[in-house]
Structure formats: C-alpha cells, structure tokens
A and B are shown apart, each in its own frame.
Chain A
Amino acid sequence: MKTKSTPESNSRRRQNFILHLHPAKVREASIKFSLTFGLGGMAAVLFLIQVFTGILLRFSYSPTPAEAYDSILSIQNSILFGQLVRNMHHWSGILFVVIAFLHLLRTFYTGAFYPDRRWNWVLGISLMVTVIFANFTGYLLPWDQLAYWAITVSTSMLNYFPVVGDQLTGFIRGGQNVNASTLLIFYNFHTAILPLTIVLLMVFHFWKVRKNNGVVVPENADGEMVPSNPDLVSKELVVALSLIAFVLILSILFNAPLQERADPALSPNPAKAPWYFMGIQELLLHFHPFFGAILIPLLFLTAMIWLPFLRYPKQYRGIWFFNAKGKKLAWLALISATLLVTAGTLLDEYFPDFEIWLKNIPPVISNGLIPFILVSGLIFILTMLVKKKLNPDKSELILFVFSFVIASYALLTIAGVWFRGPGMKLMWP
C-alpha cells in the first residue's frame, strides 16, 4: 500500500533523515560558529564535490600515457562545461587539503585532542594522510609536465628509505621510472581505493564525535540544549552553500593549470613536488635526503599521533589557544619560527654546505646528522627557555612546540612554492 505524500509526511521524513545524522538535540555551546568555523563539515562537503565532479570526469578520462593528456584536452575543449567540472575538481581538491588541515589545527587549539578523544584524533590524522594521498595520486593523471615531474621528484624521495628504498619506489611506480603502470596504479588509488578509505574513515570519525557527545565545548558552558533541526542544520546549510558558491566562483575565474604534454626526457626548471610536499622538498635543500625526506616527516607524523597519549595534568577544552598564556605562546612560536626559518634559509643559501667544508665525512653525517642535531638542539633550547621564563604547564608547553613546528612547515612550504626559481635558487615571487 502506498502512503500518500502530504506536506506533513514529507516534513516528517526529512526530520527522520536528519535524525539519522544528528542527535535530536545538541548543546547550544557546541554549535557556536566561532568554536569550529564549520571546518569539519566543510571538509565533508568538499569530499562530496570531489566525488560528484570526479565521477563526471571519469566518464571522459583515459588512464594511459598515450591518451591521458588528450582526454584532458577534450574534457576542456569539447565537452559542455568540461573545463568548469575539471576546475571545480582541481580547486576543491586543493581546498580539501587546506580545510582538512585547518580542521586539524582547530581540534588541537580548542583542546579536542585530550585522552577522551584520542582515538578520534588518530582517525583524523589518518584521514589527513589519506586526503593528501588522494590529492597526490590525482596530481599525476593529467600527464602534463607539471604532473609527470612532480610525481617523479616526490616518488624519488622514497629512494632514500634505508635498505628497501629502491624496491619501494619501483613497487609504487610499477617500474624504474614513472610510466604507464604508474599511471594505472595512481588512477586506481585515486578513483577507488582512497575515496573508499575516506568514506570508511569519515563514517568512523563522525560516529566517534557522537560518542563524545558532540564537539568539544568549554567546561563552564551551560548545558542548554537546542533542537538540531533547525538550529544546527540551518547553520550547516549556510556553510555548505557558501562553500559551494565559493568553489564555483573560483572555478569560473581561474582555470586548473595544464602544461605541455609530459616529456620524460626533459625536466622543467625548476621541477617542484605538489605544494603540500614543497615543505619536504625545501628540507631537502638543507638536509641529506634520508633526513629531509624520510626521518623528519616520519618523526613529525609519529609526534602527531603521540600527542593525545601524553599525560596532561591540566586540560583546556573549548577555548581557542587554551587561555591568555596559550595565546601569547602561540604568537611567540609564530614569531620565533618566522625569524629562525627565514634566517636559516638565507644562511644556507649564501654560505657553503657542511658537505663542502667536511669533505672526508660521508654526506649522510655532514649534511644530515650534523644539521639535524643543530636544528633539534635549537628547538630544545628554545623550549627550555620558554619553560624557564614563562613557566607554562604541560598543555601550554605542547601548544608552543606544536605551533612552532606547524609554523615552520608552513613557512618552508611558502618558501618552496613562491620563493624558489630556476635551479631552486631563492627569488622574489
């Protein structure tokens, strides 16, 4: 028997659907826009945009070196709104990485990483890594010079993995160089394995938020409850629609880049990795590849996962930068990172490397271990100085170190993307 659809039944159905996503009521404090800026929701919307535009692009794309580039050209030139769909996929792919990263910063700075949410923090880190690799595997698909050499340079970094580096690179590329097998492998990861992984992790991530009674709120917040529909849902709609409008405008104004067809015999000068790996490529200019491309990124990732497993005698929740001292420490970290990274980059550019001074020592020590110890020593001294002068508690001290490391990576990325010209020499953008 078919039930007749009336305005009331439709509304009931809508309500029913929403209640499968949200609890019936949420704390009023938890839906304050300036607490989260809707960043997690934005990431989810961007994922949906990627799925829709990606499926459309998949109808016209051929993952072979002979046809890939031409299929992109034909998407752009002879398919109605093809260029727009590609632009949207391109820009929201970039935004996805940026917004996911900002969301990660938000969860840290509002104290949503403490032990009660530790596994969701770990899930979030896994999602961040998956999102980056989803973008990375898509980077190769246009098969233009930009794509080919960015993937060549980035996968070559894996060569420096001790013992198994060559096998690892060969395995990921499906051969010695970036070739037809690489394209097929990347295509499969980009359009099947990684999106599915994101879906699974995302569902788990949302469920964990529900288990924690929603997003983090200040401890002194009053417990007033409001109905999710419309209080939360209307806010979500505003954020989602504004974001979609933003992506559309961006895609109308700016085309996704497409360089010349890939030429394995001719690398462009400079040849750069995708922008989110430029911080690592920048490290490579200063450190031996084992340190720059393998050890430092792995240490960073380990530290990020470790973060919620430390013991925090005092915990700060739901307030940006914890308190007044936390704010001060964040500024201090930003300023000291700016000064030190700029000074270090300039010093390394205009003074000869340790490798040239210490000719008789293997480069992994002269250009790897020695600068690594120098830099870690510097961070250690800085941290001790802050500890002595400002007397922060554990949470506040971790906030300082976290901010310093994140700011340094951001600065290295900026230097690599905008301030490096031919031969990776410093230049003005």
Chain B
Amino acid sequence: MTQTDQHKETVNRRSFLKKAWAWLGVIAGIEFTAVALNMFSSGKRKNAENASAFIETVGFVNDIMPGTVIPVKDGQFYLVRMADGGFMALSLICTHLGCSVRYNSEEKRFICPCHSSAFDLEGNVLNPPAPRALDAYRVFIDQGQVKVDTSRKIRRKKFSPGDLVYA
C-alpha cells in the first residue's frame, strides 16, 4: 500500500463519519419536529377523545314548535325548526371572520355585527361579505330528544334539503 492510498482511505473514513453525523443530525431534527408538532396539537387530541362532551341535548321534539329558533350558548349554535318540522343546527360563527351572528326575530335572519353579513333561517348568505352559508352541526333524534353533535362542523356552500333532520 502506497502512502497516497493510505491517505485517501483516512479521508474516506473521515468523510463517511462526517456524513453519518450529518444524517444523524437530520434524523434527530425530524424526530424533534415530530415530537414538537405532536405536543403542539395535544389539546386538539384531548378534545377528540372526549366525544360525549360534544353532544348537546336541546329538548324534546314536541316542545319545539315549528318556525322557532333556539340559541344554545354552550354549543355555540342555533337550533332551527323549520315550518315543515325539519331540524337544523347552525353554527353561530360567521363564515367571514368568525364573529358571532345574532338572530333578528322580526326580519327572521341572522346578522353579523362585525361586517353586517346576513343569513336566512337555512343559513344561506343574504348579504355579503360572508362567502358561504353558516356551517351546520349534525342533528339527531334520540329517545324523543333533539341532540346536536358539536364535535365537527359541516361546511357547505349553501343550504340543501338534505341538511334537515325530521323526527
């Protein structure tokens, strides 16, 4: 073995180790990022595990007259019973910038105090700047009671008759 060969070999071993360190560094970086992201969204997961806490019971079907709007503050939604008896739960969060809409019973519309977007009883936009209908929550009837699952918002462009739930 000549002197230069030996020299070459040492450099190779050295550069291999250097590369190995660099790769270990990258892997450690990825691991750290994954752990950090996981920690960051731990609150979200905690909420998801606790599903029953997201079921709001509004009341008995027969107690809610057609054509009424009931604000449910804890669940942040309005329960609407249409004239034909169908139920729908509308999120009270305006789709423009997230202010809470108020129900105006005379005009039968929801009005946002921030940028005066307006929505009808089905959640459709009557007045911009809101870009889409109010989000809905899943309504279901359980032993004669109206219940709403607030764990997930249902996004929609506008109202479709399938959004209504009947007893």
Report A-chain residues with C-beta under 8 Å of the C-beta of B115: 284-285, 423-424
User: B90 → chain A, closest Cβ, in Å?
Assistant: 13
Instruction: Kindly specify which of A32-40, A104-112, A167-175, A396-404 makes contact with the partner chain.
Output: A167-175
Report A-chain residues with C-beta under 8 Å of the C-beta of B76: 177, 264-265
Do residues A289 and B114 form an inter-chain contact, with CB atoms below 8 A?
no
Closest residue of chain A to B131 (Cβ to Cβ) is A363
User: B9 → chain A, closest Cβ, in Å?
Assistant: 40
Report B-chain residues with C-beta under 8 Å of the C-beta of A376: none
Do residues B40 and A152 form an inter-chain contact, with CB atoms below 8 A?
no
Instruction: Identify which of B46, B47, B99 contacts A152 (C-beta below 8 A).
Output: B99
Given contacts A267-B113, A270-B113, contact A170 B100 (CB under 8 A): no
The answer, yes or no, to whether A393 is at the interface (CB within 8 Å) is no
User: A164 → chain B, closest Cβ, in Å?
Assistant: 14
Q: Give Cα A271 to B47, complex, Å.
A: 27
Closest residue of chain A to B152 (Cβ to Cβ) is A176
Report A-chain residues with C-beta under 8 Å of the C-beta of B43: 174-175, 179-181, 184-185
Closest residue of chain B to A172 (Cβ to Cβ) is B40
Report B-chain residues with C-beta under 8 Å of the C-beta of A267: 99-100, 113-114
The answer, yes or no, to whether A5 is at the interface (CB within 8 Å) is no
Using an 8 Å CB-CB cutoff, how does the interface string of B99-130 with A read, 1 for contact, 0 for none? 11000000000000111100000000000110
The answer, yes or no, to whether B92 is at the interface (CB within 8 Å) is yes
Given contacts A152-B98, A266-B100, contact A353 B114 (CB under 8 A): no
Do residues B40 and A185 form an inter-chain contact, with CB atoms below 8 A?
yes
Given A166-B155, A288-B131, A353-B128, 6 extra CB contacts under 8 A:
A153-B97, A155-B98, A181-B42, A264-B100, A267-B99, A424-B116
20 examples of A-B residue contacts, CB within 8 angstroms: A149-B99, A156-B97, A157-B97, A166-B155, A171-B40, A180-B43, A265-B71, A265-B73, A265-B76, A265-B92, A266-B100, A267-B99, A267-B114, A271-B99, A284-B129, A285-B115, A285-B129, A363-B128, A367-B128, A424-B115
A residues sitting closer than 8 Å to B (CB atoms) are: 149, 152-153, 155-157, 159, 166, 170-171, 174-177, 179-181, 184-185, 264-271, 284-285, 288-289, 353, 355-356, 363, 367, 422-424
